[in-house]
């Protein structure tokens, strides 16, 4: 599933090229998670602004409003320059924005992705979809002090508190597992009991893990590729994620897998403490 680094890599891949482009046509394929909310013809002639990211959403300003895009479980957005002969939309292409500078296309086999029009980022339906999102991990306000305070009183396991997204966005399954390993924290530890120094350490490594993933183009486990069809490489650097039964890279203890909130958690029972 595309997580924050993959979404950001995607955004960077087309944001500059698409900026100021004029819409020639908007085409839809099969229904996505939510309806577009506007007549596709109404976009023709409008100009695109600079795409931004909020959590795992991309906000693409169009005319006076914008499109809120989400890659869902299996989506990828590709940008093709106008010179490239674009094949007709395939079975899994459900959205295409054709402009005078190139075309943006969403391919999403499982169709959990979304493209929704909103008059502004702080107006419905965008505001509703973005409500309750926590702080951005690269925001200066995301510190150990913040994390410690935000976790206080929570009874859920630290892994689930990270995944919930209301404390900090972007710590999806892969990156939460990796950050907890690097911080030496057992994913089952009760989040409200995390000490201040361990909160500091966790905030620091989470940011490092996400920054590294961005640097190498994200993770490609099944089918993620960036806006130009290039795969990520972070999967080659994972310490625990997807390594059940294999020796820990630090202490050789077999990596364990447990299920928390219906998601697999991978950790080293020796390096990571409650």
Catalytic machinery residues: 2-3, 56, 263
Q: Which is nearer to Zn ion, 101 or 198 (CB)?
A: 198
Q: Which residue is nearest to Zn ion (CB)?
A: 248
Indicate the residue among 89 and 249 with the shorter CB distance to Zn ion.
Answer: 249
Q: Which region among 29-37, 69-77, 191-199, 266-274 touches Zn ion (by CB under 5 A)?
A: 266-274
Choose one: 7-15, 20-28, 87-95, 265-273; the region binding Zn ion (CB under 5 A).
265-273
CA 243 to chain centre: 22
CA distance 33 to 72: 9
Residues within window 125-154 making contact with Zn ion, judged by CB under 5 A: none
Task: Report d(CA 72, CA 20) in Å as an integer.
Answer: 26
CB of 177 to Zn ion, least distance (A): 13
Contact segment (CB under 5 A) with Zn ion among 121-129, 205-213, 228-236, 263-271 equals 263-271
Using CB under 5 A as the binding rule, whether residue 270 contacts Zn ion is answered as yes
Closest CA to 163 of 76, 259, 236: 259
- Of 50 and 252, which has the nearer Cβ to Zn ion? 252
CB of 270 to Zn ion, least distance (A): 5
Question: In the complex, what is the shortest distance from the CB of residue 181 to Zn ion, in angstroms, rounded to a whole number?
Answer: 8
CB nearer Zn ion, residue 33 or residue 250: 250
Give which of 97, 182, 197, 100 is closest to 147, Cα–Cα. 197
Q: How far is the CB of 266 from Zn ion (least distance, A)?
A: 12
Which sign, positive or negative, has the C-alpha torsion 98, 215, 113, 53?
A: negative
Q: How far is CA 144 from CA 134, 140, 165, 185, 196, in A?
A: 14, 11, 16, 14, 7
Q: Is 84 exposed, middle or buried (0-12, 13-18, 19+ CB in 10 A)?
A: exposed
Of 73, 78, 71, the closest CA to residue 57 belongs to 71
Check residue 157 and report its DSSP letter: B
Closest approach of Zn ion to the CB of residue 190, in Å:
21
Count of C-beta atoms within a 10 Å radius of residue 19: 15
Q: Tell me which stretch binds Zn ion (CB under 5 A): 30-38, 130-138, 140-148, 261-269.
A: 261-269
String of contacts with Zn ion for each residue 217-256, x by CB under 5 A: -------------------------------x-xx-x---
Cβ proximity to Zn ion: between 246 and 253 the closer is: 253
Considering the rule CB under 5 A, would residue 271 count as an interface residue with Zn ion?
yes
Which CB atom, from 209 or from 268, has the smaller least distance to Zn ion? 268
Q: Please, which residues bridge with residue 260 across strands?
A: 263
* Spatial CB neighbours of 264, under 8 Å, sequence gap ≥ 6: 173, 257, 258
CB of 244 to Zn ion, least distance (A): 13
The position carrying tokens 């995390």 is 194
Q: Is 269 in the site for Zn ion (CB under 5 A)?
A: no
Q: What is the rounded CA–CA span in Å between residue 221 and residue 90?
A: 22
Interaction site with Zn ion (CB under 5 A): 248, 250-251, 253, 268, 270-271
């Amino acid at each position: 599933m595309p997580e924050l680094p993959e979404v950001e890599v995607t955004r960077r891949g087309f944001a500059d090229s698409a900026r100021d482009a004029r819409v020639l046509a908007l085409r839809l394929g099969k229904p996505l998670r939510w309806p577009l909310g506007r007549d596709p013809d109404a976009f023709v002639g409008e100009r695109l602004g600079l795409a931004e990211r909020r959590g795992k959403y991309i906000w693409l300003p169009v005319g006076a409003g914008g499109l809120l895009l989400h890659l869902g479980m299996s989506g990828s957005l590709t940008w093709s320059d106008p010179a490239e002969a674009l094949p007709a939309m395939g079975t899994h292409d459900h959205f295409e924005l054709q402009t005078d500078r190139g075309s943006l296309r969403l391919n999403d086999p499982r169709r959990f992705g979304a493209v929704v029009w909103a008059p502004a980022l702080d107006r419905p339906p965008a505001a509703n979809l973005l409500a309750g999102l926590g702080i951005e991990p690269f925001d200066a306000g995301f510190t150990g002090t913040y994390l410690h305070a935000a976790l206080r009183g929570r009874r859920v396991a630290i892994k689930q508190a990270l995944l919930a997204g209301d404390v900090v966005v972007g710590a999806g399954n892969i990156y939460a597992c990796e950050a907890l390993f690097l911080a030496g924290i057992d994913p089952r530890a009760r989040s409200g009991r995390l000490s201040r120094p361990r909160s500091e350490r966790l905030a620091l490594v989470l940011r490092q893990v996400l920054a590294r993933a961005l640097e190498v183009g994200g993770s490609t486990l099944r089918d993620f590729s960036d806006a130009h069809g290039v795969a990520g490489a972070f999967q080659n650097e994972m310490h625990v994620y997807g390594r059940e039964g294999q020796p820990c890279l630090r202490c050789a203890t077999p990596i364990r897998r447990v299920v928390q909130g219906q998601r697999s958690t991978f950790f080293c029972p020796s390096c990571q403490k409650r």
